[in-house]
Amino acid sequence: MPQYEIEVILTRELAGYLAMAIFVVDPAGSLIFYNEPAEALLGTRFEETGPMEMEDWAHVFDPRDEQGAPLEPESLPLVITLRDVRPTHGRFSIRGLDGTRRQLEVTAIPLIGLGGRLPGAAAIFWEAGTG
């Protein structure tokens, strides 16, 4: 298992105790973890997908805008947060790995470490109309 910064480790640990869906990535955007509430929205358990590179998770869930057009990875809130080191919010749909399309609200936040370094980011998300 790769070595992660303490901020990422603590965020992953916290995510395991929360009732909201959380997706945690490293500075390159590689998926490190998503929690049980996220599993319900993503349509599969984290143990089944495991870590994923950004290029994979940004496509496997088939993100689409509100008009149904495919979204490029660079327009996803989590990718914007990593690039610009700022919180970002968006609304779009994904197709979970269970085949169900869901409309999501997503708020991504940078994880800022000592000296302003960026050890990763996290996205909190929920099904639109339920949060």
Residues 23-55: tens digit of each pLDDT:
999 999 999 999 999 999 999 999 999 999 999
Domain count along the chain = 1
Confidence of residue 58 (pLDDT cuts 50, 70, 90): very high
- Average pLDDT rounded to a whole number, residues 6-12: 91
Confidence of residue 131 (pLDDT cuts 50, 70, 90): low
Instruction: Tell me the sheet residues that pair with 111.
Output: 120
C-alpha to C-alpha distance for 131 and 125, rounded to whole angstroms: 9
CA 24 to chain centre: 6
Domain encompassing residue 47? 6-127
Q: Tell me which H or E stretch contains 53.
A: none
Confidence of residue 116 (pLDDT cuts 50, 70, 90): confident
- Model pLDDT, residue 117: 86
C-alpha to C-alpha distance for 23 and 32, rounded to whole angstroms: 8
In a domain, 115, yes or no: yes
C-alpha to C-alpha distance for 97 and 116, rounded to whole angstroms: 36
In a domain, 1, yes or no: no
In a domain, 25, yes or no: yes
